Structure 1
Amino acid sequence: MATSVTLTICFDAPFWVGVVEIAEAGEVRATRHVFGGEPTDAELYQFLLRHGSALLARAQANPPVSAETRHQGRHNPKRAVRLAAREAARTARGQRSTASQEALRREFEQRKASAAAEAKQRRQDEAERKYALKRAKRKRRKRGH
Structure 2
Amino acid sequence: METMTVYFGDPFWIAVLEQRHDGRVRAVRQVFGAEPTDAELYQYLLCHRTALLVRVERAAAVADDAPAPAPIRNPKRLARDAARAARRSRPTTAAQEAVKKDLELRVQTADQRGRQRREEHAERRRQVRRAKSRVRHRGR
Q: TM-score, normalised by structure 1?
A: 0.75
Question: Does the C-alpha gap of structure 1 residues 23 and 116 become closer, same or farther in structure 2, counting only changes over 3 Å?
Answer: same
Measured on the aligned residues, the alpha-carbon RMSD in Å equals 1.7
For residue 106 of structure 1, report the CA deviation from its aligned partner.
0.7
Q: Secondary structure at the match of 1:39?
A: coil
- Structure 1 residue 66 and structure 2 residue 73: aligned? no
Which one of 124, 127, 132 corresponds to residue 122 of structure 2? 127
**How far did residue 104 of structure 1 move?**
0.6
* Partner Cα distance (1:35, 1:71) in 2: 32
Task: Provide the TM-score with structure 2 as the length reference.
Answer: 0.78
Query: Shift of the alpha carbon at 1:70?
Result: 4.6
Which runs of 5 or more structure 1 residues have no equivalent in the other structure? Answer: 73-96
Instruction: Name the SS for the 2:60 alignment partner.
Output: coil
Please show how residues 1-145 of structure 1 align to structure 2 within 5 Å.
Answer: 4-68=1-65, 70=67, 98-145=93-140
**Aligned-partner residue type, residue 131 of structure 1:** R
Higher RCO structure, 1 or 2 (CA under 8 Å, sep 6+): 2
1:56-96 CA-to-partner distances (Å, cap 9, x unmatched) read: 22111111101125599xxxxxxxxxxxxxxxxxxxxxxxx
**In 1, Cα distance between equivalents of 2:2 and 2:102:** 17
The answer to which of 53-62 and 4-13 deviates more is: 53-62
Distance 1:66 1:34 in 2: 24
Aligned residues: 118
1:11 corresponds to which letter in structure 2?
Answer: F
Deviation at residue 12 of structure 1 after TM alignment = 1.0
**Partner Cα distance (1:120, 1:18) in 2:** 30
User: Taking every aligned residue pair, what percent have the same amino acid on both sides?
Assistant: 45
Q: Look up the SS of the partner of 2:13 in the other structure.
A: strand
